[in-house]
């Protein structure tokens, strides 16, 4: 595709429910990042995938958060038993190979609201 896409664009859920957020990176990009952007905050790193390597999960805030990347392309971020503090915009970005010299290309984000 032309850019990084994310779905859904908006998600409203009830506290305690599970949610899945999807990211389609730019075709050919091997590196994929998930970030969380809370109101008035910067981007909080969540998880990083690079090719077939084990992901860097060091940013995941709790064990309720998990992510997969199937076939080195599409990624799904899952939040189990959602809490109100999970409300935020979840951003996905991809880059060609994930080196520190590269630009990340961002998707439009998924705005999650937990009631």
Partner 1 sequence: AQSVSQHNHHVILSEAASLELGCNYSYGGTVNLFWYVQYPGQHLQLLLKYFSGDPLVKGIKGFEAEFIKSKFSFNLRKPSVQWSDTAEYFCAVNTGYGQNFVFGPGTRLSVLP
- Note the residues at the interface with partner 1 (CB under 8 A): 3-4, 33, 35, 40-43, 45, 48, 50, 56, 58-59, 91, 93, 98-101, 103-104, 106-109
Q: Is the CB of 16 or the CB of 51 nearer to partner 1?
A: 51
Q: Is the CB of 31 or the CB of 114 nearer to partner 1?
A: 31
d(CA 94, CA 32): 4
Q: How far is the CB of 17 from partner 1 (least distance, A)?
A: 27
- b/e 52-73 (16+ beta carbons within 10 angstroms → b): eeebeeeebeeeebebebeeeb
Q: How far is the CB of 81 from partner 1 (least distance, A)?
A: 25
């Amino acid at each position: 595709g032309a850019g990084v896409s994310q779905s859904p664009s908006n998600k409203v859920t009830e506290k305690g429910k599970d949610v899945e957020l999807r990211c389609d990176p730019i075709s050919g990009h091997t590196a994929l990042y998930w970030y969380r952007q809370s109101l008035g905050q910067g981007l909080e790193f969540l998880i990083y995938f690079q090719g077939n390597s084990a992901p860097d999960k060091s940013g995941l805030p709790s064990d309720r958060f998990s992510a997969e990347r199937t076939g080195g392309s599409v990624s799904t971020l899952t939040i189990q038993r959602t809490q109100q503090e999970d409300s935020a915009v979840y951003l996905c970005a991809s880059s060609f190979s994930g080196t520190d010299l590269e630009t990340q290309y961002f998707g439009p984000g998924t705005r999650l609201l937990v009631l």
